[in-house]
Structure 1
Amino acid sequence: MTQANENENRPPLPPFDLESATKKVRLAEDGWNSRDPVRVSQAYTINSRWRNRAEFINGRDQIVKFLSAKWSDEQEYRLIKELWAFAGNRIAVRFAYESQNADGQWVRSYGNENWEFNELGLMTIRHASINDLLISESQRLFRWPLGRRPDDHPSLSALGL
């Protein structure tokens, strides 16, 4: 099931300009906010390589397994991504997400990702560095209904993050 669509284009395609890189980042954010591991995995090549914190993940099947476990542990997950830089077939983003762990503790996770894409717009490499901050419920900033972030919700920069 995760092997499908390997030869389909995933626009926008590289080389990226400001508009296409910004759109690619928002599409990635929307996918992750769906919390659908199979849907998210379709944005990556079959043999995509990840470094996520200290975990090394290879291929769509491992991506689905990783994301399934992640979203099982991280309840009420809401993510904002923001373009940091781009050149050719690479994009760098910064992000923050809020979630609630099994103990009911709220966490805001901050990070940076480096992405590399093939000519079809599928991500071949993802490197993510992430730090977690325990927050109280009253410190939460990401309060939209689960799913896609509304277009009028403030960005990371607008929130001062």
Structure 2
Amino acid sequence: MTTPDAPRPPLPPFDLASATEKVRRAEDAWNSRDPEKVALAYTPDSRWRNRSSFLQGRPAIIDFLTEKWAAEQEYRLIKELWAFAGARIAVRFVYEWRDAQGAWFRAHGNENWAFDADGLMTDRHASINDVAIAAADRRFHWPLGGARPRDHPGLTQLGL
């Protein structure tokens, strides 16, 4: 069991392998849709910008993610490393979800992350755009609440 402020490897400074691993661990955590688990990757006073929402601290992160995943049903996410340097990582991501009325969406976004020496994220800045899609156009079909299978294509392979 991870304690709230335990180091979260891989630790900065990042190289290609460790940055890629950090991104995949974040993807797996978010696909769990467990707000408390996800929040442990952030410092207690982590600052976020998510679309037009600005928040700070783990309790706010947990509340935000709880509301997010109540609204964004059947959420499945793929993240891909874009760039890294020192204690910073940039990712691009796509996730698919449906609303309470059954309409499907694909969200495309970019995130900028900054980490402390223990590998906890201090800052997260996310820009995201949603596009309505037909259910038949979905590309993410692995079991809900679980990690993307290792043999499932990534964003580049899917042409996203």
Which runs of no fewer than 5 residues in structure 2 stay unpaired? none
Contact 2:88 2:112 in 1 (8 A): yes
Residue 6 of structure 1, CA deviation: 4.6
Answer yes or no: is 1:46 the counterpart of 2:52: no
Secondary structure of the structure 2 residue equivalent to 1:151: coil
- Report how many residues are paired: 158
State the Cα distance separating 1:8 from its structure 2 match.
1.3
RMSD: 0.9
What TM-score do the two structures reach when normalised by structure 1?
0.96
2:47 and 2:124 map into 1 onto residues whose CA distance is 6
Deviations 1:81-130 (A, max 9, x none): 00000000000000000001011100000000000000000000000000
What letter is aligned with 2:128?
A: I
Whole-angstrom distance in 2 between the partners of 1:47 and 1:84:
25
- Unaligned 5+ runs, structure 1: none
Query: In the alignment, what sits opposite 1:135?
Result: 133
The within-5 A match list for 1:111-126 is: 111-126=109-124
For 2:70 and 2:58, the matched residues in 1 are separated by 18
Pair 1:87-2:85 in alignment: yes
Identity %: 65
The residue identity in structure 2 corresponding to 1:156 is L
**2:108 equivalent among 96, 99, 110:** 110
- What TM-score comes out, normalization by structure 2 length? 0.97
